[in-house]
Structure 1
Amino acid sequence: MTPASTGASTSVGAVASVPSAQPPVSESRMSPGGPGYRRMSLALFLAGVATFALLYSTQALLPLISGDFAVSAGDASWTVAAATGGLALFVLPMSALSERYGRRTVMTASLAVAVTLGLLVPFAPSLGALVALRALQGAALAGLPASATAYLAEEVTPKALVTAIGLFVAGNSVGGMSGRVITGWVAQEWGWRVAVGVIGVVAVACAVAFRLLLPAPRHFRAGSLRPGVLVRTVRGHLADPLLRRLYAIGALFMTVFGGVYTVIGYRLTEAPFSLPQGIVGSIFLVYLVGTVSASAAGRLVGRLGRRGALYAGGGTTAAGLLLSLAGSLPVVLLGLVLITAGFFAGHAVASSAVGKTATVGRAQASALYQSAYYVGSSVGSTVGALAFHAGGWGGTVGVGLVAVAGVAAITLAGTRAAARAAVARPA
């Protein structure tokens, strides 16, 4: 059996032989309704919940953190940007470890370290210490996203891959939502430190359940940690025009999302809305829309194609940004619903396309996507906050619209490249 037939990376190390008694790969991979699929889906859903709940645990609390440490919105936003930046920086090295030691092992270790740090975050004595702890937490969480998508690409049938990754992304949306809602209400009564402590405890429970539920991988083949092999694999992915476009699209979508949800708490707690912290936290219930749109990404691709789905996601996001400029709270909420739906659909489509495009070094391909994605989050959080400070909510929306225009331009370039390739293909 060749490495390509197993879905394992051919770019790292030698592939172990497979006993002939094993069923063919097409039969042994998981599919909806088959053995292990439900446990796998629930395990990775919970991993997504823990990852996003921890990663963005301070985002809904930024006004309170600003007040506690007497700092500006831009300074407080570093508690989000440091975590996403740490993840972006370490996701590629962690993906290399997953090629050597296994997806499940790396995901388990990453969650264990991240939840431990999560229990320390409430005791940060200063903003600098808080930012440092959050950066370490993001670096620890880097083992989850790339390893999870590589695990799915190897263990799930190709037809079910978009749906399976959509469920993982849905877990991300639930984690992001629940983390912000819980912290909002807890912080209103007991302060931001207790709120992030509660999220740490919830993440511990998710991490334990994940490890107990996730089936052992059947198609993973350990590779080498040789730096030269890793460099060649990364260079090969970056040389692929389609992968480069997908990485840029992920970064731009996340620039919008990171900017909007970093600043929205400041906007809603100020006039004319002047909402209390608990209500502001509950605004993040719109993440449920993201859960639905991410889960439906497979059907959207089936009807519109990958590029059509990306156009739809970008258009929906842009419409939401424009609606959010209104002075009416219901209209602003509708805008947030559209932004969330468009973002999660676009993210699920782009990330699943990476898994399908990369036939070797899948963990590295996914890691590069995740790195670009979280760089976009860090940029969006920081630039969105600075734009809000300089020009109010309109400044943040302007940053988002520029990013959406970038998504449309890159997708259009892909459409034209595909058309040229079709014309050049011999009959």
Structure 2
Amino acid sequence: MTYIQKGSRSFRKTSLAMFAGGFSTFALLYCMQPLMPEFSKDFGISPATASLSLSISTIAMAVTMLFVGILSDQKGRKIIMCCSLVGASAVGLLLTLSSGFLTLLILRMIQGMILAGLPAIAMTYLSEEINPAHLGYAMGLYISGNSIGGMGGRILTSTLTDLANWRTALGILALLSIVSSVLFWQWLPASRNFKRRKVRFSDTIRTLFVPCKDPALLCLYGLGFVFMGSFVTLFNYIGYRLSAPPYLLGSGLIGWIFVVYIMGTVSSTWMGRQSDRYGRYAVMGVAIGILLLGALLTLTGSLWVMIIGIALFTFGFFGGHSIASSWVGLLALEHRAQSSALYLFFYYTGSSISGTLGGIFYASFGWNGVILMITGYMTVALILNVVLKRRGASRNTTGKRPDATRTI
């Protein structure tokens, strides 16, 4: 096989293309989060209903990601990723013309399905084309594009909404995404190691069920669900709290709170290193504790203490998510691709279900209800972590199970 080598022109172009693609994908996906209070005002809907603008996209993407790999095996990696970016950007432009909230939701569902094309295939493309010795570096650039895109999309739309309105904000973001799509197409080298193959749909369904027979993997899927569910719930409704008395912050200022995403870059790397040193069970427990402490600090009346709490919450989330996602790769000795796909499925399903469920808690009990729900989720996370320890999964740091003959 002919691999792309670090330091080469192809490597730089590939890294830039993946950064641009990741940025565009997650900017489009999460741009709705700071706009939810605006939707409540414009369409006269509750916070829980407004949260569907994000939830319907993430669940559509989660389901589609399980199967889009089949299409890429038949048609090729680059063409599917490019179509995903262009198609999602085009739908982003159509969103600005939404006459009602139902129309917006239908378009967001379509956009979520189309967006699945890049995250479901990007890592496979990099694994096939990049020299394995330099894969970690290339993957890191792609993931950094994801996180910066998620942060940038939120900040951009909230700031532009303050200056104009949410339709203008979404239109400008869509135009920027089209530019990113063109750059992605120009920069990303054509696949050299891809081999076209036919995969039957029935085979894909059957292999997806195999990891679900493993209790340890199910625990990790549960962790992904409650982590992402807690994270999206807090950020879905913090805007409602900060835009109300006594804070009365505008959309632009609320959007800048998402700068705390930078904590995720530090947390995922640092906690991953600590989990290798002290064990995944112990460090996972610390991550859960930090996330819960941060959530509880947002109950205070002080804006600055709330911001510190949100930063701690974000630190704990990214740390826990990074440990859980890497843990899946260590425990899944077979069907690793399917195991990882299922983790992402539960992860984004947690976002969809919990993001809207949190709105019910918010409507019924205010901000205390949101934190009550997150506390319940973290209690479940602690239980799942204990189950993993008792089954011996926490001792696994080499990719080999303590007892390879037994299904954990």
Q: What TM-score, normalized by structure 2, do the two folds share?
A: 0.88
Q: Which amino acid aligns with 2:385?
A: T
The whole-number CA distance in structure 2 between the counterparts of 1:206 and 1:76 is 28
The residue correspondences of 1:278-357 to structure 2 (distance < 5 A) are: 278-296=252-270, 298-355=272-329, 357=331
Query: In structure 2, what is the equivalent of residue 269 of structure 1?
Result: 243
The whole-number CA distance in structure 2 between the counterparts of 1:329 and 1:200 is 33
The whole-number CA distance in structure 2 between the counterparts of 1:242 and 1:39 is 39
The whole-number CA distance in structure 1 between the counterparts of 2:200 and 2:217 is 23
Query: In structure 2, what is the equivalent of residue 15 of structure 1?
Result: none
Shift of 1:215: 4.0
The residue correspondences of 1:62-211 to structure 2 (distance < 5 A) are: 62-155=36-129, 165-211=139-185
1:45 to 19, 35, 48: 19
Measured against aligned partners, the alpha-carbon deviations of 1:298-351 in whole angstroms (never above 9, x if no partner) come to: 534433444444333322211211111111011110111111122222223333
Measured against aligned partners, the alpha-carbon deviations of 1:109-156 in whole angstroms (never above 9, x if no partner) come to: 211211110111111000000011011101111122222233344455
Stretch moving more, 348-357 or 114-123: 348-357
Stretch moving more, 179-188 or 219-228: 219-228
The whole-number CA distance in structure 2 between the counterparts of 1:306 and 1:98 is 34
SS in 1 for 2:66: helix
Query: In structure 1, what is the equivalent of residue 398 of structure 2?
Result: none
Stretch moving more, 43-52 or 415-424: 415-424
The whole-number CA distance in structure 2 between the counterparts of 1:306 and 1:104 is 36
The whole-number CA distance in structure 2 between the counterparts of 1:377 and 1:51 is 16
SS in 2 for 1:123: coil
Gaps of 5+ in 1: 1-21
SS in 1 for 2:45: coil
The whole-number CA distance in structure 2 between the counterparts of 1:213 and 1:340 is 33
The whole-number CA distance in structure 2 between the counterparts of 1:399 and 1:144 is 32
Q: Which amino acid aligns with 1:243?
A: L
The whole-number CA distance in structure 2 between the counterparts of 1:219 and 1:238 is 31
Q: Which amino acid aligns with 1:318?
A: L
Stretch moving more, 80-89 or 300-309: 300-309
Shift of 1:59: 1.1
Paired residues of 2:328 and 2:340 also in contact (CA < 8 A): yes
SS in 1 for 2:67: helix
Shift of 1:170: 2.8
The whole-number CA distance in structure 1 between the counterparts of 2:51 and 2:304 is 26
Paired residues of 1:170 and 1:295 also in contact (CA < 8 A): no
Query: In structure 2, what is the equivalent of residue 225 of structure 1?
Result: 199
Q: Which amino acid aligns with 2:313?
A: I
The whole-number CA distance in structure 1 between the counterparts of 2:220 and 2:346 is 9
Paired residues of 1:146 and 1:363 also in contact (CA < 8 A): no
Paired residues of 1:166 and 1:297 also in contact (CA < 8 A): no
2:32 to 53, 58, 61: 58
Query: In structure 2, what is the equivalent of residue 365 of structure 1?
Result: 339
Cα distance change of structure 1 residues 341 and 366 upon mapping to structure 2, 3 Å threshold? same
Query: In structure 1, what is the equivalent of residue 389 of structure 2?
Result: 415
Query: In structure 2, what is the equivalent of residue 250 of structure 1?
Result: 224
Stretch moving more, 386-395 or 206-215: 206-215
The whole-number CA distance in structure 2 between the counterparts of 1:173 and 1:229 is 33
Identity %: 39
Stretch moving more, 224-233 or 190-199: 224-233
2:368 to 381, 394, 405: 394
Q: Which amino acid aligns with 1:287?
A: Y
The whole-number CA distance in structure 2 between the counterparts of 1:224 and 1:370 is 24
Stretch moving more, 368-377 or 207-216: 207-216
The whole-number CA distance in structure 1 between the counterparts of 2:334 and 2:385 is 24
Q: Does 1:377 align with 2:357?
A: no
Paired residues of 1:169 and 1:348 also in contact (CA < 8 A): no
Measured against aligned partners, the alpha-carbon deviations of 1:229-271 in whole angstroms (never above 9, x if no partner) come to: 1122212232234432332221111101110111011010011
The whole-number CA distance in structure 1 between the counterparts of 2:287 and 2:141 is 17
The whole-number CA distance in structure 1 between the counterparts of 2:388 and 2:14 is 33
Gaps of 5+ in 2: 396-400
Cα distance change of structure 1 residues 295 and 422 upon mapping to structure 2, 3 Å threshold? closer
RMSD: 2.8
Aligned length: 400
Q: Which amino acid aligns with 1:177?
A: M
Paired residues of 1:150 and 1:355 also in contact (CA < 8 A): no
Shift of 1:54: 0.6
Paired residues of 2:272 and 2:319 also in contact (CA < 8 A): no
The whole-number CA distance in structure 2 between the counterparts of 1:424 and 1:355 is 15
Cα distance change of structure 1 residues 310 and 361 upon mapping to structure 2, 3 Å threshold? same
Stretch moving more, 102-111 or 54-63: 102-111
The whole-number CA distance in structure 1 between the counterparts of 2:133 and 2:374 is 33
Cα distance change of structure 1 residues 416 and 160 upon mapping to structure 2, 3 Å threshold? farther
Cα distance change of structure 1 residues 296 and 95 upon mapping to structure 2, 3 Å threshold? farther
The whole-number CA distance in structure 2 between the counterparts of 1:363 and 1:133 is 29
Q: Which amino acid aligns with 2:143?
A: V
Cα distance change of structure 1 residues 205 and 299 upon mapping to structure 2, 3 Å threshold? farther
Q: Which amino acid aligns with 1:107?
A: M
Cα distance change of structure 1 residues 303 and 375 upon mapping to structure 2, 3 Å threshold? same
